[in-house]
Chains A and B, each alone.
Chain A
Amino acid sequence: MPQIKVLMSPLFALYHGTVPVADVIKAGRWDLVEDYYNDLKDAYIHGVEPVLPANIARKVSRLMMDLWSHIEARHRMETIYYFALIYEYLIIKITNPKVEELPEDIKSKIKEKLSLIKEVTLRGAIYRFEEVFDAVYDIVDILDMYAKYPHVRIAEYARKLIFFIDEKDECWTMYWSTRFFVRTTMVILGEEI
């Protein structure tokens, strides 16, 4: 894929438009969630969308529409999920990291764990967070054995996720589990989200 050239200030603005979402949702400030959505959309439309290939731009537009419908419906977890997903998806497309090539049976094991993580965190099911904790470590164990490349971001997201599971913080757990889910799906499994 050709290099996508995004300026530095739109990257800053994209992150600014996505990362505060867990805290503002925790505070029940849907007015601020809408402000951040507008900031994210502005940053995307003016700084990122014009340099993206058409297929990626179409996909992000669809994701933005999904995000807005969850904001309107006041769905807490889904809103965090889409904010985090859009950011992670974009930075992966922009930086184009090396993708692992793993055997199919290993990929299926990872996929199974990832769907458990997504299911539990989207429900905000704190009583099942121990299962998420185990699933994250199972994936890390598999990567320790099979990954050819160093996955620093996956390690950082996994660590953040474990921290917020320990804190029983459903909003930040949702945020970091999404970033972990998206990156692992795209960079380890080599699949689109």
Chain B
Amino acid sequence: MVRRKAVPVSKLMKLYELTEMPVWYSKAGRLDLIKKCYKDLTRLVLMEIRPYLSPELSEEVEDYLDHIKGDIQLAEEIGTKTPLIMTLADFYEKIILDIAGYKKEKLPEDVADEVSARLEEYRHDIVNERAEYFPDIIEGITYLFLVIFNRYVKYPHPRIAEYALELDTNLLVSDVEWSAYWFARFDTRVRAVFLWE
């Protein structure tokens, strides 16, 4: 497949809409609208976005769409929607990282391991909707900024700061859905930029 020069802004707008609106639909209990989003997202990604992706991500696209389909089924069967919200947010972030590029930074190995372990723990708490641990996650995010990022990061990464603040704000009010959305975007970007995953 030929990789063209720039993804049209209108396609990016649509991609953002189709991966973010399910958070609102989830809150409203509108699984029918989430399913419609999935249909539109599948068409958009496969037909319109894929030609602009790197060969590596292009190969993973179908796996992501299958994963999202599985998460919708899970939401339908047992009512848990955070995995779906997180997969959609991960997918969106992966695509924009791939399309726009980013500066990679290398953390010392032990520091990278610590960041990775913390993120894994926070993801586990958020996906399982353990709101009693949300204050600990807020503290953990502050630690990441003050102790790790300030010390080891060379370049400015405003998006990481923005996602962290959105996450903090939603954790503070125990908004499970939006915390899940912003954590997934934060996690995916931090892992790509600092952990090279």
Q: Among B38-46, B81-89, B129-137, B157-165, which stretch is in contact with chain A?
A: B157-165
Docked complex Cα distance between A5 and B13 (Å): 30
Q: Among A102-110, A149-157, A168-176, which stretch is in contact with chain B?
A: A149-157
Q: Are B146 and A9 interface neighbours, CB within 8 A? A: yes
Q: Are A144 and B8 interface neighbours, CB within 8 A? A: yes
User: Given that A149-B6, A158-B13 are known contacts, is A11 also in contact with B156, CB under 8 Å in the complex?
Assistant: yes
Q: Are A158 and B156 interface neighbours, CB within 8 A? A: no
B window 154-174: CB within 8 A of A: 154-158, 160-162, 164-165
Q: Are A154 and B9 interface neighbours, CB within 8 A? A: yes
A37 to chain B, nearest CB (A): 17
Q: Are B145 and A150 interface neighbours, CB within 8 A? A: no
B131 to chain A, nearest CB (A): 22
A177 to chain B, nearest CB (A): 15
Which of A6, A12, A14, A148 touches B164 (beta carbons < 8 Å)? A12
Chain B residues closer than 8 Å to A140, beta-carbon distance: 9-10, 13
A window 136-151: CB within 8 A of B: 140-141, 143-144, 147-151
Which of A6, A16, A143, A152 touches B156 (beta carbons < 8 Å)? A6
Interface string of B88-102 (1 = CB under 8 A from A): 000000001001100
Q: Are A94 and B13 interface neighbours, CB within 8 A? A: no
Q: Are B156 and A155 interface neighbours, CB within 8 A? A: no
Q: Give the bracket for the number of chain A residues in contact with chain B.
A: 20 to 34
Report whether over half of chain B's contact residues are helix, strand or loop; otherwise say mixed: helix
Whether B75 is near chain A, meaning CB under 8 Å from some CB there, is: no
Q: Are A5 and B156 interface neighbours, CB within 8 A? A: yes
Q: Are B10 and A12 interface neighbours, CB within 8 A? A: no
Whether A1 is near chain B, meaning CB under 8 Å from some CB there, is: no
Q: Are B153 and A8 interface neighbours, CB within 8 A? A: yes
Q: Are B9 and A144 interface neighbours, CB within 8 A? A: yes
Chain A residues closer than 8 Å to B9, beta-carbon distance: 140, 143-144, 147, 151, 154-155, 158
User: Given that A147-B9, A152-B12, A152-B100 are known contacts, is A159 also in contact with B149, CB under 8 Å in the complex?
Assistant: no
Whether B64 is near chain A, meaning CB under 8 Å from some CB there, is: no
List chain A positions with a Cβ less than 8 A from chain B: 3-9, 11-12, 14-16, 19, 91, 94-95, 140-141, 143-144, 147-152, 154-156, 158-159, 162
List chain B positions with a Cβ less than 8 A from chain A: 5-10, 12-13, 15-17, 52, 96, 99-100, 145-146, 149-150, 153-158, 160-162, 164-165
Contact sample, A vs B, 23 pairs, CB 8 Å cutoff: A7-B149, A7-B156, A8-B149, A8-B150, A8-B157, A9-B150, A11-B158, A11-B161, A12-B145, A12-B164, A14-B161, A94-B156, A140-B9, A140-B10, A147-B6, A148-B5, A150-B100, A151-B12, A152-B12, A155-B15, A155-B16, A156-B16, A158-B13
